Amino acid sequence: MSDLVGRSKIADGPRLSRRGTRRLAVWVSLGLVCLAAFAALMLMQGIDRQLNDITKTYAVRNAARELTHALSQAEASQRGFLLTADPQFLEPYREAVSSLDRRVAALMEMTADDSGQAARVASITGDITSKMAEMNRTVELVATRRNAEAQTLTETGMGARLMAEVSKTLEDFIAEEDAKLTSRNAQIDQTRTGLVGALIAALTAAAILAYALLMRSQRQVSALAQRHLGLVSQNEALEAEIAERTRDIEEARAHAERERERVEALLQDTNHRIGNSLATVSSLLALQVMRTQSDDVRNALEAARSRVHAVASAHRRLRLGDDLETASADEFLAAVLEDIAETQIDSGRVLVRSELAPIEVGARDATTLGILVGELVTNALKHAFPGDRRGEILVTLARTEDDVPALSVKDNGVGIAPDGEMGETGLGSVIVRQLSSQFGGEPEYRAVESGGLEVTVLLPELGSAAPARDDEV
């Protein structure tokens, strides 16, 4: 009897040991799950804080870009009013100016906890005030019809320097915010890695716990089998739903493509209608030229008609690419030059040739470039070939060795008298300078040794990645 009791105790010993091991495994697994859950919670809170920082950084960058856009809008409207004296430029100018103080104050409030960025914002407030004073003075002079004084004030370059300093400071400001954003994204990646590790630890602990529990109860096997069947059913339902969603996505994509084609057609039709309307205005001016007896009035009307026709041609000939935002300069300018050649009174007396590089430009830049080319070619047709003189005009658009786009209009006409000055001071030259400045360039006039004149304009900002400008003529 004592032997049986001893054997029973010996048999129960390993069984109790196995139960103790399973119980320990269960508690260890539960502890790991709780620890992993706590770590995941802490990491999620860290991610939330980092996301809040990123959201704030995006808000600061957007505020800085809105301030830059408001300054550009104010300067563009001021230039438009200076060039045309058209009161319609005053309303956007005043709206942009009135929002500057509010945008600067908002930017300073956002950067109050960052001394470096706050100092950058504070450093440009004086420049912005000076720039606004210069633009207000220019607008006041043009409004009182003192255009010469306004032009002189603009040509001093002070406003351009102030605008360049403000733009440089804002670019540095945005670059600093981008650096912060990059750093915070790296921190989020590190936090994400930790979170994945915590989730893996939780899954490992859960697997150990599940294994221990499965070993203790066979009933859970049946439950897991039922759950598996449920998952299979859900998977089938999910696959059916995915197939349905895929069909919906395909239909939506087809609809979006049709809408894109419709929008493209509307844009092309709009440009064509604008060009036709301006062409009608050009025709009306031509009729008025024929009915006018005064040579001065006739010359002024003819100059106006030529410029309206150039703008009409630029709009009518504009063909956008697949992205509806860019155009190829060679195709566009070739069509514009063809229109200009066809409008000569005695077509064929002056041959207009072109050598154009396929440079991709924005839609607004394309229109402005077309007007600039039209102005230069029209000036050459008007002044370089008086009487019945024959000749040719060569229009070239290519990149320099420094990869800067350069526009050249060269003629073999009468050129400039020995005692004359390179470049005129009339309205045509003012328009050429203003249009050139929109691309960051300045016209250069050079007499050709064999006779004639060559006008070259460097266009460093043509086709750049900078946002489209609103200051085109």
Q: Where are the domains of the chain?
A: 16-216, 323-473
Q: For residue 472, what pLDDT is reported?
A: 42
Strand partners, 410: 394, 454
Strand 350-356 to 391-399 pairing:
parallel
Helices (H), 217-294: 219-291
Please state the rounded mean pLDDT for residues 289-300: 66
Whether residue 407 contacts residue 426, with contact meaning beta carbons closer than 8 Å, is answered with: no
The angle subtended at Cα 129 by Cα 125 and Cα 132, nearest 5°, is: 135
pLDDT over 50 at 430, yes or no: yes
Residue type, 66: E
Please state the rounded mean pLDDT for residues 423-434: 74
pLDDT over 90 at 53, yes or no: no
Of the candidates 310, 325, 404, 309, the residue with the CA atom closest to the CA atom of residue 361: 325
Q: For residue 303, what pLDDT is reported?
A: 60
Please state the rounded mean pLDDT for residues 88-98: 81
The band of 279, judged by pLDDT with boundaries at 50, 70 and 90, is low
pLDDT over 60 at 41, yes or no: yes
Tell me the backbone φ, ψ of residue 57, rounded to 5 degrees.
-60, -45
d(CA 371, CA 394): 17
Measured CA distances, 396 to 329, 345, 386, 411 (Å): 11, 24, 23, 11
Whether residue 333 contacts residue 317, with contact meaning beta carbons closer than 8 Å, is answered with: no
Of the candidates 436, 277, 302, the residue with the CA atom closest to the CA atom of residue 371: 436
What element of type H or E holds 469? none
Mean pLDDT across the chain: 75
Please state the rounded mean pLDDT for residues 362-387: 84
Q: For residue 466, what pLDDT is reported?
A: 38
d(CA 83, CA 70): 20
Give the CATH number of domain 323-473; options: 1.10.3720.10, 3.40.470.10, 3.30.565.10, 3.10.450.50: 3.30.565.10
Percentage of residues of the chain with pLDDT beyond 70: 72
pLDDT over 80 at 275, yes or no: no
Please state the rounded mean pLDDT for residues 335-362: 80
Greatest mean pLDDT among 26-40, 63-77, 121-135: 63-77
The band of 458, judged by pLDDT with boundaries at 50, 70 and 90, is very high
The band of 265, judged by pLDDT with boundaries at 50, 70 and 90, is low
The answer for residues whose C-beta is within 8 angstroms of residue 86's C-beta and 6 or more apart is: 80
pLDDT over 70 at 368, yes or no: yes
pLDDT over 80 at 439, yes or no: yes
pLDDT over 70 at 6, yes or no: no
Q: For residue 408, what pLDDT is reported?
A: 93
pLDDT over 80 at 304, yes or no: no
Q: For residue 455, what pLDDT is reported?
A: 92
The band of 456, judged by pLDDT with boundaries at 50, 70 and 90, is very high
Please state the rounded mean pLDDT for residues 361-368: 80
Q: Taking the model in full, what pTM does it have?
A: 0.40
Q: For residue 409, what pLDDT is reported?
A: 93
The band of 74, judged by pLDDT with boundaries at 50, 70 and 90, is confident
d(CA 410, CA 397): 12
pLDDT over 50 at 370, yes or no: yes
The band of 317, judged by pLDDT with boundaries at 50, 70 and 90, is low
Q: For residue 188, what pLDDT is reported?
A: 77
> What is the rounded radius of gyration, in angstroms, for the C-alpha atoms of the chain?
37
pLDDT over 60 at 68, yes or no: yes
**Which contacts (CB < 8 Å, 24+ apart) does range 10-13 have?**
none
Structure tokens at 268: 């092309």
Of the candidates 327, 294, 332, 289, the residue with the CA atom closest to the CA atom of residue 308: 289
Greatest mean pLDDT among 168-177, 236-245, 357-366: 236-245
Q: Name the residue with higher pLDDT: 346 or 338.
A: 338
Q: Name the residue with higher pLDDT: 341 or 249.
A: 249
pLDDT over 50 at 402, yes or no: yes
Please state the rounded mean pLDDT for residues 338-356: 78
Q: Give, as one character, the DSSP assignment of residue 465.
A: S
Alpha-carbon dihedral sign for residues 158, 73, 427, 435 = positive
Q: What is the DSSP string of 61-74?
A: HHHHHHHHHHHHHH
Q: Name the residue with higher pLDDT: 240 or 201.
A: 240
The band of 221, judged by pLDDT with boundaries at 50, 70 and 90, is confident
Helix, strand, or coil (residue 453): strand
What element of type H or E holds 322? none
Please state the rounded mean pLDDT for residues 12-31: 69
Q: Give, as one character, the DSSP assignment of residue 468.
A: P
pLDDT over 90 at 51, yes or no: no
